[in-house]
Amino acid sequence: MLPKNYRLKKRSAYKATYRTGNTIHYGGITVFIGKIKNNDLPTKIGFVVSKKIHKRAVKRNRIKRLMRESYRLLIKEGNANDKYMSLIFVASSCLLGKNFSEVDSVIKKVVGKI
């Protein structure tokens, strides 16, 4: 799990990020990119798995946790992108049932494209 100051928490912050309209699609993940940062605060990250993907909470939680863990390791290695105020990762149904290494490779490639 990410530390608290790395998390995107407010509903208004989500809305503001969506409103910028910059997106990247790759490997079943859509990334919404917020505004360019003008302070020293860390980039805030949000993860979204909708009920359309699976109706059971356990399966949705699994996808979220794998994505979060992968991004956490990126931050630890220092490879994360920190030019923007916020990023939102939206999963699609093709991530269902994948293991950590598969999700990890997708996240790394998506972050490299930002």
Residues lying near RNA in the complex (CB under 7 A) are found at 1-4, 7-12, 14, 46-48, 56-58, 61-62, 64-66, 69, 72-73, 76, 99-100
CB atoms closer than 10 angstroms to residue 19: 10
Half-sphere exposure of 86 (CA within 13 A, CB side): 21
Smallest distance from RNA to CB 48, Å: 5
For residues 84 and 56, give the distance between their C-alpha atoms in angstroms, rounded to a whole number.
33
Smallest distance from RNA to CB 21, Å: 16
Smallest distance from RNA to CB 8, Å: 5
The DSSP secondary-structure symbol of 35 reads: P
For 112, residues 6+ apart whose C-beta sits below 8 A from its C-beta are none
